[in-house]
């Protein structure tokens, strides 16, 4: 867990400078200096989609700002929610006069800050609505689903919300379909090794050389069980079984699978996981649509993977396949 | 005796000294079930608060609002935002009382802080968080004498009273066995800051 | 360096199954079963571009098969060249009647096998030409430049060759412009930690917890120096200085920079490196064009990064910006 | 006495036994300056060769060509391809002699293998590779007696003669100090296989 960095205190500021220099379609600004938004903002009258979250998860969050996806992102320190000011900056940057959907993961600090920013935005006559990513089945029991944290599934929600806004739907409609997408999406992660936050001396958790933890969160939050490392197929089976048990998709449903790497896991191993997951989905009579395999939501150099599934209906499928383009993902363009 | 921007500045200066002393201790308390950053985050927040000219603010409301904004700019952590929420509550109270907040009002103001923090954080008294410290301080100040020593004693008592209860909020709620018997880092921070203020007063 | 895998002996076969299942635009076939090619082959009369190499470097090699890029890829075991049969399969798959450019990295086994496959292809009346990636300045002195190994710079050569072939140039012309691109491209890598080959018990090299190695190759081949970990800016400076000293680009040249992650290095840190490299390029009076920052050529879960630069002329710039699309990279589409 | 597909099959069977015994030893020799896979790679190649029906081939050329193809399918490593190249050389020699290759021809055939391997690998005699083993074997067989014991002795002598020279090819050329005094893994493999063949003959 050695790092290529300068002063750890400047880690976030420097990475953002590098990001916008490499991607001129993104601009860094706001009073906080911690808001990334589209250099060419969307047309007036489009519902804005703002997100935010801690740093250390690239391409999440800010990498999904782009056409048919997000309008802006509030950026926090590593693994720390964005400040109220950054959240307010993001809401303002996303606003094209038709209101702003605040779409982010369900973490205490992020929620408080966006709520507070939303109240301030109201004073500027900006209407906001909130949809939270709560896809991580390992973080609370189904009865307490509203307490669940958001992990990689949020990327799928970005796609749905961004496409609905691009179609010209109004704020209530965008929020409603994003809620529907959230209700149809579940994730679970597995961790093999930790990462180290730049300002810290030690890794964010400890795990034996022969162990894995099923259900661990993207900041090292504890999971469901920890035991000897299992085979890729066994891991794939358990992740899939847990998601299917919750989603209980009608026979022959179409589903979008996202096999996500947490950072240090080679793409090769994500494809080995996917091989099993794809086969199992088909055996279960389900139809995988445009599987996403890669590093979409990371936790610095943590190794491990997560599986997300979104069960489609016609509306969600058409929104998922609408054209979109951001620095780290493209659909149909 | 009415609370002035200078009093607020003196409180911040005290908190600044206290947090610099307690930073690692608070981090260690958070590392038990949290991410181990309470002390460092509060240090950054209080550093930012200490940098602005609170004593020179035009009014008590402005002084408190300036602190709230400094906190909000510095961090996105839960506790940082709750600190900002408490400062904003003082600002609001000062504004509606036209700056005339005395020692005798402090019980009511701290109760308002408790309610604002609870509303912001969606937690309740009894969950073993800073809300329980604020609750105890409000009650003690109402009983009087309404001074820092009373507040400090109430914060210390709350810490003792909750130590052997499980935390029921955030990440910590998932490990009742680990939070039981240990101090909540946010409650501990309030107790240490108020204790320091009393000792050096 | 824990791994998500089943039987290590099946690692390559399983990852390829997963890859083509996730990317229906790629097909796996050939007599070897180790050849990936375009599911919709290019039109008759286009010069074919075939590559090949060991596994463990995804997205390299096979991820660059696509429109305006490669036609086929021969796949070897982890860090082992493709077999003669796989190389022959790739040449055959790429052939649309106008000959095939074999474009791959300069490694002994790969060269022998492609040479042998080329001789066999001649018996089928397929004309082949060979251009080798030799961009790694750390692997031999400038006087022995032909002995240098190929690393991340090969991706830029794929782009040039693919665009030239898509334009309808003939085999000699495609080979010539690819040679020109190779002559204008240099790379250097830095390694912070090793990876583990699935069948091995131990990491592929050892390095102290506080050390880095400048110039190390993508299989752990020794570099130029090993010393205490330095700051990101110091690392960026040294990589850039070494490349510029060799390339010696005319003042105000336009250059394509590729800041590549070797596997476990967070994207965040690649942007921190790029921040410095981009600024230094501008200070040197050079003009960076479409910088590529990401994991393009990896070494499993090795941590570290590489920098590649291609100095453009008008022809190379137009080929670099021509539309292209493959599973892991898109240009202008 | 003319070489038959059965003779070739017997040679492969011997090599198979030898390599299974020597796998780790050869890996260790390669780990010195290479990637430590010589033994395992050769084991896989010889396993693949042992699986096909060499004894039942229609001709000596077919037998040798089958082995070449088996090796080429199994691996992309340098040495694997050189093994295939050597087998293909035998196939070509057999074809042009219409299958009539005797013990007395083996010196010439091994010299052709040496040249084909050198052309394929772009290395030369003296670089401390399998080329030097083949070179020594070819010379010894020419002097006679043209049998396996002669070949085995030549391979062992070549190993001794080159041990204290630096390797001049591939990755190993970058560490002359580490290759000097150590056996080249490819040369060692030839010596061990031929020695085993002699001992068990
Ligand atoms: N929702 C909440 N309501 C009330 N207090 C809270 C809440 N969340 C956190 N706290 C307080 O904040 C403290 C943790 O602060 P800190 O470590 O800075 O936050 P974070 O969890 O963002 O790292 C807890 O000990 C608790 O007292
Ligand atoms: N170009 C070459 N010419 C001749 N022999 C070679 C050449 N490259 C490798 N060898 C032989 O192969 C041996 C290494 O084999 P092996 O470990 O299987 O190859 P790799 O380097 O692909 O891992 C060396 O000891 C040497 O004898
Ligand atoms: Mg904390
Ligand atoms: Mg925190
Ligand atoms: Mg090898
Ligand atoms: Mg080897």
Closest to A182 in 3D by CA, of A163, A216, A159: A159
For residue C228, pLDDT over 90 is answered with yes
Describe the crossing of helices D148-163 and D185-200 by its angle, rounded to 10 degrees. Answer: 150
- Roughly how many angstroms between the first and final C-alpha of chain C, as a whole number? 37
pLDDT at C284: 97
A83 to B121: CB separation less than 8 angstroms, yes or no: no
State if residue C109 touches ligand 2 by the CB under 6 angstroms criterion: yes
User: Rounded mean pLDDT of D98-102?
Assistant: 92
Burial (CB count <10 Å: 0-12, 13-18, 19+), residue B32: middle
For residue C231, pLDDT over 90 is answered with yes
Range in B39-43, C273-277, D27-31, D57-61 with the lowest mean pLDDT: D27-31
The residues of C that are catalytic are 57, 219
pLDDT level of residue C254 (50, 70, 90 thresholds): very high
For C108, which of D36, D74, D78 is closest by C-beta distance? Answer: D78
Q: Which ligand 2 atom sits closest to the C-alpha of D185?
A: 25
Residues C278 and C234 sit within 8 Å (Cβ to Cβ): no
Give the Cα separation of C278 and D48 in Å (integer). Answer: 51
C274 to A18: CB separation less than 8 angstroms, yes or no: yes
Residues C122 and C114 sit within 8 Å (Cβ to Cβ): no
For residue A1, pLDDT over 90 is answered with no
Nearest residue of chain C to residue A275 (CA atoms): C18
Residues with a CB atom less than 6 Å from ligand 1: A 108-109; B 30, 34-35, 37-38, 41, 77-79, 82, 117, 121-123, 129-131, 169-170, 184-187
% pLDDT > 70, chain C: 100
Question: What confidence tens digit (pLDDT) does each residue in D22-56 have?
Answer: 999 999 998 887 778 899 999 999 999 999 999 99
Residue with CA at minimum distance from ligand 2 atom 3: D121
Min CA distance, D145 vs chain C (Å)?
Answer: 34
For ligand 6, the distance from its centroid to the CA atom of residue A19, given in whole angstroms, is 40
pLDDT at C333: 66
For D35, which of C32, C79, C222 is closest by C-beta distance? Answer: C79
Listed in sequence order, the residues at least 6 apart from C214 whose beta carbon sits closer than 8 Å to its beta carbon are C138, C188, C190, C223, C224, C225, C226, C227, C235, C238, C239
Give SS3 for D187.
helix
Residue with CA at minimum distance from ligand 2 atom 6: D129
pLDDT at A91: 98
Give the Cα separation of C83 and C75 in Å (integer). Answer: 8
Question: What confidence tens digit (pLDDT) does each residue in C138-178 have?
Answer: 999 999 999 999 999 999 999 999 999 999 999 999 999 99
Residues A328 and A64 sit within 8 Å (Cβ to Cβ): yes
Give the Cα separation of B25 and B19 in Å (integer). Answer: 9
For ligand 1, the distance from its centroid to the CA atom of residue A142, given in whole angstroms, is 24
- For residue D42, the ligand closest to its alpha carbon is 2
% pLDDT > 90, chain B: 83
State if residue D129 touches ligand 2 by the CB under 6 angstroms criterion: yes
Q: Which of D134, D186, D189, D190 to mutate to test the pocket of ligand 2 (most atoms within 8 A of CB)?
A: D186
pLDDT at C123: 81
Question: What confidence tens digit (pLDDT) does each residue in A193-214 have?
Answer: 999 999 888 888 999 999 999 9
pLDDT level of residue D99 (50, 70, 90 thresholds): confident
Q: For residue A227, list chain C residues with Cβ-Cβ distance below 8 A.
A: none
C116 to D74: CB separation less than 8 angstroms, yes or no: no
Question: What confidence tens digit (pLDDT) does each residue in B107-120 have?
Answer: 999 999 999 999 99
Output the DSSP codes for C163-228: HHHHTT--HHHHHHHHHHHHHTEEEEEEEEE----TT-SS-SS---TTEEEET--TT----SEEEE
Min CA distance, B86 vs chain A (Å)?
Answer: 13
Residue C192: other Cβ atoms inside 10 A: 25
Mutate to test the interface with D, among C12, C51, C113 (most CBs of D within 10 A): C113
For residue C320, pLDDT over 90 is answered with yes
Q: Which helix (H) or strand (E) holds A54?
A: strand A48-55
- For residue C107, the ligand closest to its alpha carbon is 2
**Interface check B24 vs A, CB under 8 A:** no
Q: What's this model's pTM, rounded to 2 decimal places?
A: 0.92
User: Rounded mean pLDDT of B154-176?
Assistant: 90
pLDDT at A333: 66
The residues of A that are catalytic are 57, 219
Beta bridge pairs of residue A132: A104
Instruction: Determine the structural domain holding residue B145 and report its residue range.
Output: 5-199
pLDDT at A204: 87
Q: For residue C83, list chain D residues with Cβ-Cβ distance below 8 A.
A: 72-76, 80
Q: Which helix (H) or strand (E) holds D33?
A: none
Question: What confidence tens digit (pLDDT) does each residue in A20-49 have?
Answer: 999 999 999 999 999 999 999 999 999 999
Number of structural domains in chain B: 1
DSSP state of C83: P
| Cα pseudo-dihedral D159, D165, D169, D175, rounded to 10 | 120
For residue D201, pLDDT over 80 is answered with no
Q: For residue D120, list chain C residues with Cβ-Cβ distance below 8 A.
A: 112, 115-116
Q: For residue D121, list chain C residues with Cβ-Cβ distance below 8 A.
A: 108, 112
Residue D152: other Cβ atoms inside 10 A: 23
pLDDT level of residue B200 (50, 70, 90 thresholds): low
A82 to B171: CB separation less than 8 angstroms, yes or no: no
Question: What confidence tens digit (pLDDT) does each residue in B2-44 have?
Answer: 999 999 999 999 999 999 999 999 999 988 877 788 999 999 9
Residue with CA at minimum distance from ligand 1 atom 7: B121
Residue with CA at minimum distance from ligand 2 atom 21: D78
With touching defined as 3+ CB pairs under 8 A, do chains B and D touch?
Answer: no
Token pair belonging to A207: 């795990």
Residue with CA at minimum distance from ligand 1 atom 21: B78
> With a CB-CB cutoff of 8 Å, which residues 99-158 of chain D face chain C?
120-122
For ligand 1, the distance from its centroid to the CA atom of residue B124, given in whole angstroms, is 13
pLDDT level of residue D85 (50, 70, 90 thresholds): very high
For residue D173, pLDDT over 80 is answered with no
User: Rounded mean pLDDT of B36-58?
Assistant: 95
Residues C235 and C269 sit within 8 Å (Cβ to Cβ): no
State which residues have CB under 5 angstroms from ligand 3, the bound ion.
B 30, 34-35, 37-38
CATH code of the domain covering residue D32: 1.25.40.340
Question: What confidence tens digit (pLDDT) does each residue in A166-190 have?
Answer: 999 999 999 999 999 999 999 999 9
Which comes out higher in pLDDT, residue D1 or D36? Answer: D36
% pLDDT > 70, chain D: 98
Q: Which ligand 1 atom sits closest to the C-alpha of B42?
A: 18
B174 to A222: CB separation less than 8 angstroms, yes or no: yes
């Amino acid at each position: 867990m050695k790092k290529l960095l300068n002063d750890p205190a400047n880690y976030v500021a420097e990475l953002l400078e590098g990001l916008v220099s490499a991607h001129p379609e993104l601009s860094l600004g706001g009073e906080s200096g911690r808001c990334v938004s589209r250099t060419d903002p969307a047309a007036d009258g489009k519902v804005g989609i703002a997100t935010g979250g801690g740093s250390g998860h690239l391409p999440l969050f800010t990498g999904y700002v782009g056409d048919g996806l997000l309008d802006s992102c509030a950026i926090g320190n590593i693994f720390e929610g964005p400040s109220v000011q950054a959240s307010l900056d993001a809401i303002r940057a996303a606003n094209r006069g038709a209101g702003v959907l605040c779409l982010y993961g369900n973490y205490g600090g992020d929620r408080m800050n966006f709520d507070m920013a939303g109240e301030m935005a109201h004073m500027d006559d900006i209407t906001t609505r909130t949809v939270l990513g709560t896809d991580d089945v390992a973080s609370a029991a189904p009865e307490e689903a509203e307490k669940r944290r958001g992990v990689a599934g949020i990327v799928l929600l970005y796609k749905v919300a961004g496409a609905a806004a691009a179609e010209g739907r109004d704020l209530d409609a965008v929020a409603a379909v994003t809620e529907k997408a959230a209700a149809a999406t579940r994730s679970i992660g597995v961790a093999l090794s930790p990462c180290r936050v730049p300002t810290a001396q030690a890794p964010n958790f400890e795990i034996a050389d022969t162990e894995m933890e099923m259900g661990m969160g993207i900041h090292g939050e504890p999971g469901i069980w920890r035991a000897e490392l299992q085979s890729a197929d066994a891991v794939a089976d358990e992740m899939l079984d847990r998601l299917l048990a919750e989603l209980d998709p009608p026979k022959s449903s179409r589903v979008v699978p996202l096999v996500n790497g947490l950072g240090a896991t080679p793409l090769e191993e994500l494809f080995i996981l996917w091989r099993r997951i794809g086969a199992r989905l088909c055996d279960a009579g389900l139809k995988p649509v445009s599987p996403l395999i890669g590093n979409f939501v990371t936790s610095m150099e943590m190794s491990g993977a997560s599986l997300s599934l979104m069960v489609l209906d016609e509306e969600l499928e058409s929104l998922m396949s609408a054209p979109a383009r951001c620095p780290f993902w493209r659909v149909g363009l | 005796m009415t609370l002035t921007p200078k009093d607020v500045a003196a409180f911040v200066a005290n908190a600044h000294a206290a947090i610099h002393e307690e930073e690692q201790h608070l981090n260690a308390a958070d590392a038990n079930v949290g991410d181990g950053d309470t002390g460092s985050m509060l240090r950054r927040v209080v550093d930012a608060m200490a940098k602005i000219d609170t004593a020179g603010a035009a009014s008590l409301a402005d002084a408190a609002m300036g602190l709230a904004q400094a906190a909000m700019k510095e961090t996105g952590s839960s506790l940082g935002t709750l600190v900002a929420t408490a400062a904003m509550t003082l600002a609001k109270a000062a504004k509606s009382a036209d700056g005339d907040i005395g020692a005798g009002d402090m019980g009511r103001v701290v109760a308002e802080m408790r309610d604002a923090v609870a509303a912001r954080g969606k937690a309740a008294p009894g969950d073993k968080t800073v809300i329980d410290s604020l609750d105890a301080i409000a009650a003690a100040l109402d009983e009087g004498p309404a001074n820092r020593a009373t507040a400090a004693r109430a914060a210390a008592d709350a810490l003792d009273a909750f130590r052997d209860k499980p935390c029921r909020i955030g990440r910590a709620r998932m490990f009742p066995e680990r939070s039981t018997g240990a101090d909540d880092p946010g409650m501990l921070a309030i107790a240490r800051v108020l204790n320091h203020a009393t000792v050096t007063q």
